[in-house]
Amino acid sequence: MTLARVVGTAVPSRSAADIPGAVWRIVEVCDHHGKKRGSRLIALDQVNSRDDDLVMLCRGSSVRWTRETADKPVDALIVALIDIIDEGGKITYKR
């Protein structure tokens, strides 16, 4: 799992993934404080995220283990919204 921040939405006119109602979000890999740490990716959103949300991102072949993504060309999936990150009793992120 990877932390990422939602920075936008991608709206394709056609998609080989053919997932009804799919929402594609642009996410930026980040650290546990929400600071940019990596590149931008396009991920299928399964949790109705909004811009600037910190999310948990799943990547790779495990993305295709859901009913909606089985056998689909998807390699990044937003699976959770992060509300709080607590490290050793210290809150390092709060939504």
Inter-residue contact 68 to 45 (CB < 8 Å): no
Read off the pLDDT of residues 28-70 as tens digits, 9 standing for 90 and up: 999 888 788 888 999 999 999 999 999 999 998 888 878 788 8
Taking only the tens place, the pLDDT of each residue in 63-93 is 887 878 888 888 899 999 999 999 999 998 8
pTM for the whole structure: 0.86
Architecture of domain 2-12+21-86: Beta Barrel (2.40)
Residue type at 29 in one-letter notation: V
